[in-house]
């Protein structure tokens, strides 16, 4: 009898289906890593990011540190471009050149943008504008006045009161190929500084195809122009009302980046603003000439007070910290060491007045020398790096008063009659507390002393000190009038 077919018997197609299932599983396993990589890869069509850095106020060491950090952040973000939003009256030439070296070495295009309306890129800011790969200005801004200022000299390429110089400065230059006539400089050092600055800014202009003749005029004659004229004279490439307008106009432009033509892709990019960290903010505070000057004075006075009153500790510690921070800040600033020498001399004269009174002559001379040296410490016209006259006046007055009062008090304390110590024990009178044979205990000035004597003494009898042997007093019976 034939057995009936089971309903669960495998279909003839089962082996074929299993074969295809294995092949599909193998293909899926092989393609899975590639699918993950494709999904994780960045979209090359995305607008990307643009890093925004603000250059505001006087350009100094803190600005250099901030921009160095910002450029590094832009490299980490793989930014499409860096925008330097500039509003500065100028600053230190050393810091400016450090920043320009960073800009020229940057692998990311840098757009210099003088903004917002009413801002300026004067002096050192003009050099930054010329060093950028793309230069732009907002409506209502200006740039120029790039004449270098020498410490200890006038620093002017043309005397301010020279009518011919004013006419030459205000005369339209157009596209003249001949550079503006150079007026006589005040001295050889000024000519050297101006010629060096001219060569530098012309090299930046040639590098980016900008108006080199106007750049030289800005250095030699302190010429300055507004945004529209800057665009017409090919000092800049773009006039943009805001950041979005700037990125839209910059998109698709070709710039020279490290000798190669690079096309900007900035339209619709995400703007990432980089703020200064606490170190940069702290450096910006202490490199303010007024703050550095006050820190130096606090340090000097704190150490002087500690030396005059040993053991106070706090004035010495505070003074040492303030002096170190102040000297660090002064090391970063263009100072005149002759001015610092005069400040120290003035403090010394005021101290001498307190120690050796001279009817005020040394004190008055010290205050005058102190104030003169303070003015010479920062004796240039560099914007943002000038010592305030009210600060100098207040410091001179405070120095005279503090040194006169405090040092006079110290002198009076030194001249006061001695009331304790070995010298005051000789001749002092006291009472015998306990006595045995040639020695015992006595009380002098409220203190208990060991004593000896060549004559017998009784407890409670008055004694007088005639000498001292280490910690043992030599006494005798006090004369009758000692009662």
- Which tokens sit at 397? 């007055």
Residue 333: pLDDT above 80? yes
Residue 217 pLDDT: 95
Q: Which of 22-36, 143-157, 218-232 has the highest mean pLDDT?
A: 218-232
Q: Read off the pLDDT band of 107 (50, 70, 90).
A: very high
Contact 355, 411 (CB under 8 A): yes
Q: Which of 69-78, 328-337, 376-385, 452-461 has the highest mean pLDDT?
A: 69-78
Q: How many angstroms separate the CA atoms of 229 and 227, rounded? A: 6
Question: CA-to-CA distance for 193 and 240, rounded, in angstroms?
Answer: 34
More confident residue, 22 or 215: 215
Residues 6 or more apart in contact with residue 452 via CB below 8 angstroms: 438, 439, 440, 469, 472, 473, 474, 475
Give which of 238, 235, 247 is closest to 201, Cα–Cα: 235
- For the range 304-310, what are the long-range contacts, defined as Cβ-Cβ under 8 Å and sequence gap of 24 or more? 304/347, 304/351, 305/406, 308/406, 308/407, 308/410, 309/410
pTM over 0.85: no
Q: Give the mean pLDDT of the chain.
A: 80
- 437 SS3 class: coil
Output the CA angle 402-405-409, nearest 5 degrees: 130
Q: Which of the pair, 273 or 268, is modelled with greater confidence?
A: 273
Least confident of 15-29, 116-130, 162-176, 358-372: 162-176
Joined tokens for residue 141:
């801004």
Give the phi and the psi of residue 125 in degrees, each rounded to 5.
-65, -30
pLDDT of amino acid 478: 85
In the three-class reduction of DSSP (H, G, I as helix; E, B as strand; rest coil), residue 39 is classed as: helix
- pLDDT at position 206, please? 94
Contacts of 21 (CB under 8 A, 6+ apart): none
| Other beta carbons less than 10 A from residue 177's beta carbon | 6
**Given this model, what pLDDT does residue 42 score?**
43
Q: How many CA atoms lie within 13 A of 302 on its CB side?
A: 19
Tell me, letter by letter, the H, E, C secondary structure of 352-393: HHHHCCCCCHHHHHHHHHHHHHHHHHCCCCCCCCCCCHHHHH
Per-residue confidence (pLDDT) for residue 168, from 0 to 100: 47
pLDDT of residue 160: 35
Is the pLDDT reported for residue 202 higher than 80? yes
What is the per-residue pLDDT for 209?
92
DSSP-assigned beta bridge partners for residue 224: 144
User: Where along the chain do its domains lie?
Assistant: 49-278, 291-415, 422-482
CATH class of 49-278: alpha beta
Q: Which fold, 422-482?
A: OB fold (Dihydrolipoamide Acetyltransferase, E2P) (2.40.50)
**pLDDT band at 481; cut points 50, 70, 90:** low
Distance CA 229, CA 235 (A): 8
Structure tokens at 230: 């800057």
Tell me how many degrees the CA angle 154-339-327 measures, rounded to the nearest 5.
115
**Length reported for the chain:** 483
Point out the least confidently predicted range of 139-153, 242-256, 340-354.
139-153
């Amino acid at each position: 009898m034939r057995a009936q077919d089971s309903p669960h018997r495998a279909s003839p197609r089962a082996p074929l289906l299993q074969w295809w299932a294995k092949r599909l599983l193998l293909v899926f396993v092989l393609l899975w890593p590639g699918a993950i990589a494709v999904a994780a890869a960045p979209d090359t069509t995305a607008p990307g990011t643009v890093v925004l850095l603000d250059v505001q106020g006087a350009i100094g060491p803190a600005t250099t540190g901030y921009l160095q950090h910002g450029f590094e952040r832009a490299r980490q973000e793989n930014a499409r471009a860096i925008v330097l939003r500039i509003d500065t009256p100028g600053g230190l030439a050393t810091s400016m050149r450090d920043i320009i070296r960073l800009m020229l070495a940057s692998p990311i295009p840098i757009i210099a943008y003088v903004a917002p309306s009413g801002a300026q890129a004067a002096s050192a800011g003009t050099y930054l504008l010329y060093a950028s790969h793309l230069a732009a200005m907002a409506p209502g801004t200006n740039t120029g006045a790039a004449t270098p200022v020498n410490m200890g000299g006038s620093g002017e390429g043309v005397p301010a009161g020279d009518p011919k110089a004013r006419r030459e400065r205000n005369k339209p230059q157009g596209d003249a190929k001949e550079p503006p006539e150079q007026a006589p400089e005040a001295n050889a050092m000024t000519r050297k500084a101006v010629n060096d600055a001219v060569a530098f800014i012309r090299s930046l202009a040639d590098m980016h195809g900008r108006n080199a003749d106007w750049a030289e005029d800005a250095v030699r004659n302190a010429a300055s122009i507004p945004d529209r004229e800057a665009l017409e004279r090919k000092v800049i490439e773009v006039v943009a009302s805001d950041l979005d307008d700037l990125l839209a106009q910059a998109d698709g432009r070709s710039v020279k980046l490290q000798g190669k033509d690079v096309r900007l892709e900035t339209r619709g990019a995400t703007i990432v603003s980089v703020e200064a960290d606490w170190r940069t903010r702290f450096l910006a505070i202490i490199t303010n000439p007024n703050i550095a000057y006050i820190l130096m004075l606090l340090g000097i006075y704190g150490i002087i007070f500690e030396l005059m009153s040993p053991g106070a500790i706090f004035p010495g510690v505070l003074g040492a910290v303030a002096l170190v921070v102040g000297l660090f800040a002064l090391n970063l600033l263009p100072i005149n060491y002759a001015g610092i020498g005069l400040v120290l001399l003035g403090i010394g004269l005021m101290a001498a007045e307190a120690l050796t009174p001279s009817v005020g002559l040394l004190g008055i001379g010290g205050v005058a020398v102190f104030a003169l040296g303070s003015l010479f410490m920062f004796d240039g016209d560099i914007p943002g790096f000038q010592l305030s006259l009210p600060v100098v006046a207040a410091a001179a007055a405070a120095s005279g008063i503090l040194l006169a009062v405090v040092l006079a008090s110290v002198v009076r304390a030194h001249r006061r009659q001695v009331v304790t110590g070995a010298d005051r024990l000789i001749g002092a009178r006291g009472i015998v507390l306990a006595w045995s044979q040639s020695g015992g205990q006595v009380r002098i000035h409220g203190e208990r002393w060991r004593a000896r004597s060549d004559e017998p003494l009784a407890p409670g009898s008055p004694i007088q000190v005639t000498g001292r042997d280490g910690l043992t007093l030599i006494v005798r019976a006090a004369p009758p009038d000692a009662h």
